[in-house]
Amino acid sequence: MDNASPEERIIAEAQEETGFRVTRIEPVFTAYMSPGSVTEKLYFFIAEYSPDDRQTGGGGLAEEGEDIEVLEWPLEQALQAIRDGEIVDAKTIMLLQHLALNSASLFAAERAKSDRV
């Protein structure tokens, strides 16, 4: 997938690592984790999913040395895990903080959509 777009890659990675098929992804931001020493540009996305979207158990690919534990936590529990030092991955922290800062507007938009159906 070296020539794939960031959107194509995140859809494939989400299914590979979490087991969920996501189709409606939304770009959040792009960032360099350490611009003074690393030129890798990271693309951050959010996506909705439901139990019906599960395709596999997730966990990554053994042939790539991946052994990913998939956890589904309420937002407040995930934020507490950051405070407790259980979540230390910067990318995960950045996305959870984005969700915490924007959850009211994100969830309000979803409620408005479902009210129109």
For CATH 3.90.79.10, list the domain ranges present in the chain: 1-70
CA 71 to chain CA centroid, Å, is 12
Q: Give the type of residue at 98.
A: H
DSSP 8-class letter at 45: E
pLDDT for 112? 65
13 is in an annotated binding site: yes
66 is in an annotated binding site: yes
63 is in an annotated binding site: no
Closest by CA position to 42, among listed 54, 24, 29, 55: 29
89-99 burial, b if ≥16 CB within 10 A, otherwise e?
A: eeeeebbbeeb
Residue identified by tokens 């989400």 is 14
pLDDT single digits (tens) 7-50: 999 999 999 999 999 988 999 999 999 999 999 999 999 998 99
* The pair of three-digit structure tokens given for residue 43, joined into one six-digit string: 């693309």
Neighbours of 15 (CB within 10 A): 17
The CATH number, out of the four listed (3.90.79.10, 3.40.50.300, 3.40.50.720, 2.60.40.10), of the domain defined by the range 1-70: 3.90.79.10
Asked whether 15 and 55 are in contact (CB, 8 A), the reply is: yes
pLDDT single digits (tens) 64-111: 888 999 999 999 999 999 999 999 999 999 999 999 999 888 766 666
Q: Give the type of residue at 113.
A: K
